[in-house]
Structure 1
Amino acid sequence: MRHITRGRRHAAVAALAVGAVLALTACGTGSGGDSGGDAATELGEFEDSVSILAWPGYVEDGSNDPAVDWVTGFEEKTGCTVESKTYGTSDEAVNLMKTGDYDVVAASGDATLRLIAGGDVAEVNTDLIPSYAGVFDFLKDQQWNSVDGKSYGVPHGYGANLLLYNTEVVTPAPTSWDIVFDKASQYTGKITAYDSPIYIADAAVYLMAHQPDLGIENPYALDETQFQAAVDLLKEQRPHISEYWSDYLKEIQAFETTDSVAGTTWQVIQNVLAGEDAPTDVVLPDEGATGWSDTWMIASEAKSPNCAYAWLDWIASPETNAQATAYFGEAPSSQEACDYRDDCEAYHAGDADYAAQIWYWTTPIAECVDGRTDVECVDYAQWTEAWSEIKG
């Protein structure tokens, strides 16, 4: 895998993506453009600079590694000097965007709806972003990046939260998440799980297949009964957990020492283990999986909207997107980007059937994102409270 060492280092930072959120009851509106109204209809002259807020590894200018630089080319092409700041959690990103100091933000699905509901980001006119046309269709117009048919950003990259297992201990090869849930007792004390409230959705994905009477249609839209079932499943899992991981290095070490033999992971982590000849493999289980698809968004009161639009087009362009997503350790957002990468197959880039099995992180809100209007769903603030109870 190209840039594997750097990619895995920065992929680890994404593990901090989820934090407590305020209860949201509606996300149907969001401001846009310079005036805070509709999306821009045309672009003007570039401003002198653009301020970007992003995950580490998303805005590289060669200062961390001279060989990793997709900022300089942008500055030379547009004349927009890039000023960037990194953040460690989605909660931090949401709070920073409220300051009005940033023109652009790269947001994960657990932050996007908050930003839209708060009027902190603008609707974008994708006609003004030529690179958008090449973005995979299955990443466009999704509930974490669009509201009421309006697009609020450009997809960056994506990935699934896969099932990682020790091929010498876990036999036969698993095809279901049952080995970390209903059959976890077979490997008690050696099961690992992602350390975040959003992991409740992983339990919900499992219940969708194994307890259909619950009527779960979307793992991020859970009413009280459905939510409690997911929480109960995770409480049953708790005694079998070796550790909850958020540091990818610790998960790698745990699988190398066999302290853990099965649990949630990312493809980039398996790539590292395979490179070290560890007896591990990954699978996208029959039930499907959760995952992520980050979105580049423009501030509703952007001081440099023209440079902001230019950045969204640049970061989605094939060569730039290929470099950025490879560095981070995720699938790119377009097939054309794969012309500049040699590992797209490992990430199942462009495989629509594979992508359809992924439930991308989406902010749970009181207004059910599955479209139900006869019940109220459990919002993410309550997910956070429940997660503390689950871990004990």
Structure 2
Amino acid sequence: MSPSPRRATPTLVALGVLLALVAALLVWQRPWASQDPSAAADDSDLDARLRSQLTSATAATDAAGWAAEFGPGGVGVGQASWEAREALGVDDATLTLLSVGAAPDRDDGTRSAVIRVSWTTTDDALLGPAEQVTATVAARVRSAAGTNEVDVLGFGPRDGGSASDPLPLWLAGEVVVSGSSDVPVVTVAAADGPGVPEAAALTAVGQAQVTALTGSSSRAAVIVPSRAQDAAALLGRAPDALGPVAGVTTSLPGVGSPVVVLNPGEFARMDPRGSQIVVTHELTHALTDVVGTTAPTWLVEGFADWVALHDDTAPLATSAGALLTQVAQSGPPDALPTDEDLAGPTSGAAYQGAWLSVVVLARDHGGDEAVLQVYRAVAGGAPVEQALAAVGTSVAELTAQWRDYLVYSASTVS
């Protein structure tokens, strides 16, 4: 007798139905597919789409037209850059795509694009007029979800760039202008960070100190980023390159006057006195037309601290403690601070030494007027020996007097 065929039990039938439902649900929901709509976008022509948007942005004549070309996800970036253009007097801005990454290189699906930016500034620009300027920057881009557009999500220094590739100020984020017309303070709100909330007040005091002592009527600007890495970007440096430097005086592309870029991370650690000294020191550089000259660094840095500390009442142990401790332990330096000293691991003591060399110059060779005479002559291109000879001294004599002063001061400071 042949065996009778087996019949499915009710339990097996129910299990089969359940498995079929699960399979149908999986096909419908596709959990293996990305839930990010932009991940499914066709990026095959992203290069062409981005190039077209940047060309259209260049042709835009108003904020709405400009911002729209930054894509739906980048409208805020576009709006902030247009408002910065207007605040800073940026004109004739041109954006040209040079290259774009072949694939996303971050978890958020963005890739890096390299863009050439050129612009001019108006005659009445806040930071002074400038001829046509060109810079190369990086931008974060990605296909906009559900559209045929590309989002331009922000700008930064290009990878592998150098100090010749700082991020243009008007592309750094929303800007807020305060301060005087001669020394405006430009706060850049690119990201959450401590910033320097007291920057405008510090700048006003610093400008008054420099003007009262030097008579300068030059223009400058103070730039206040939100974070240390933003300050580095504006200077064209690596994010961690500033280290303990609290402020840098330099020139920036498209800015007609010297600028002081503050490092918010360092200001957050300083007391009010220290903050004021830094700002006045940097404004001395900016307002006395010394940026880019061949004046010896010890005189440039010593003079800036001489201005910043001119009316300071703190004891010498506070203002020059690092150097005087060093002198008490191993004697005075053999020579005035070199560029290497001022950039090295004991730069704090070297800066104090530079300052005290100017203090000795004033004490022994004619007071404030002698210091100003020497400084102006050297900033104007005169050799330092010639400038010192005009007030009756020399580098060798000043160095000897300075060394004696350090030894005496170290012996009297506890």
TM-score of the superposed pair, with normalisation by structure 1: 0.22
TM-score of the superposed pair, with normalisation by structure 2: 0.21
Select the structure with the greater relative contact order (CA < 8 A; seq sep ≥ 6). Answer: 1
| Greater share of residues in helix | 2
